[in-house]
Amino acid sequence: MKITGLLLVAAVLGAASPAAAQGLAGSWTFSGDTQDTAGCKVTLGVKTVPGGRALTAPAACRKVFAGAARFAVWRTSPGGGVVFANASGRALLEFGPVADGDFLAQLDNGNGYVLTRSPGRRR
């Protein structure tokens, strides 16, 4: 039971090593997967908070994804992706890795969202 509980806690917190979190931390552009969708800047922080790591998303992100107002934390997923979650740790968007270090989230309704490293950040 204790091992199962520890595994669950690790999954909820996005048990990325500090080095992995540091590698993903910084400014990213969050946008829809079509050319006509404006993007917004989000910041993946390194500070550990309940449910993952600090995530900053300005109000402008609501134009990209209506649920962006609930973004509070981020964490890594077992497949090397990035999860945006609410303050309770509930996943709102799950991004999988794609070419060039970008990430893509595809919803059941067909809408897609892209997370791209902001210019000037090392990969």
**Interval 92-121: pLDDT, tens:** 999 999 988 899 999 988 889 999 998 754
> Does 15 map to a domain?
yes
Give CA–CA dist 39/47, Å, rounded: 24
Instruction: Tell me which residue range forms the domain holding 66.
Output: 2-117
Q: Can you give the pTM of this predicted structure?
A: 0.81
Q: CATH number for the domain including 6?
A: 2.40.128.10
Classify residue 91: in a domain, yes or no. yes
Number of folded domains that form the chain? 1
* DSSP 3-state of 29: strand
**Is the model's pLDDT at 84 over the cut of 80?**
yes
**Within a domain: 123:** no
| Structure token digits, residue 4 | 């199962």
Asked if the structure places residue 122 within a domain, the reply is: no
Beta-carbon contacts of 17 under 8 Å, excluding residues fewer than 6 positions away, are none
- pLDDT (tens digit, 9 = 90+) per residue, 37-47? 778 999 999 99
Helix (H, G, I), strand (E, B) or coil at 105: strand
Start-to-end Cα distance in the chain: 39
